[in-house]
Chains A and B, each alone.
Chain A
Amino acid sequence: DTGVSQDPRHKITKRGQNVTFRCDPISEHNRLYWYRQTLGQGPEFLTYFQNEAQLEKSRLLSDRFSAERPKGSFSTLEIQRTEQGDSAMYLCASSKREAYEQYFGPGTRLTVT
């Protein structure tokens, strides 16, 4: 099995710019999750898709954040008008519908200067 992949691995941007991250889940997994992890903390749930439907969003996901999974395969997470507080590791995970363990990608580390 190819694991979950994420692109880019690192992103440095200036405050106010928009950024977009991509996640490719494990091919037979129809659930896809986005989490955010800041230094010294555990990952925090942002949003989740089952196929192309976005079924749950955390209160952490402000209006500046949007996620899509247009064909039920890869997903994108966009952050508009980035702020320094958005600096974090953004993790993507996927799972099979009938199982609950989630498999994580390597993450995209965002630094907002």
Chain B
Amino acid sequence: AQKVTQAQTEISVVEKEDVTLDCVYETRDTTYYLFWYKQPPSGELVFLIRRNSFDEQNEISGRYSWNFQKSTSSFNFTITASQVVDSAVYFCALSEAVPGANNLFFGTGTRLTVIP
């Protein structure tokens, strides 16, 4: 069975602070994909990143960075120098890497509030 746990329900930071959102996953599959999505107040889920299970390189995109550690089944997301526009609910998700069966299993999300 697949499971994604986002233990942090809500986080508040002051603008320009760094913040890390945690994600822990469970799967019996040896090959899988991990994702982060952002859901701003408007409600539309925005794709941020996809990571393959066989690629443990960390990734940086502007102020965003992701730390994938297979040994601890974690895929954490860090926002550097947070901005008010980063306020949103962030979801971590997991998908099997089996052709034809790649529906996403989502965590319950972390609500990030960036205070000006």
Residues of A within 8 A of B (CB): 33, 35, 40-45, 48, 50, 55-56, 58, 89, 91, 93, 95, 100-107
Contact = CB atoms under 8 A, between A and B. Distances in A.
Closest 10 CB pairs of A and B: A42-B106, A104-B45, A45-B103, A106-B44, A101-B50, A101-B47, A100-B102, A100-B33, A42-B91, A43-B106
Q: Give the contact-size bracket for chain B.
A: 20 to 34
B33 A102 contact: no
Contacts of B104: 33, 35, 43, 45, 102
Contacts, number: 55
Given A100-B95, A101-B50, A43 B100 contact: no
Among A40, A50, A58, the most chain B Cβ lie within 10 Å of the Cβ of A40
Interface of B: 4, 33, 35, 37, 42-47, 50, 91, 93, 95, 97, 100-109
A91 B45 contact: yes
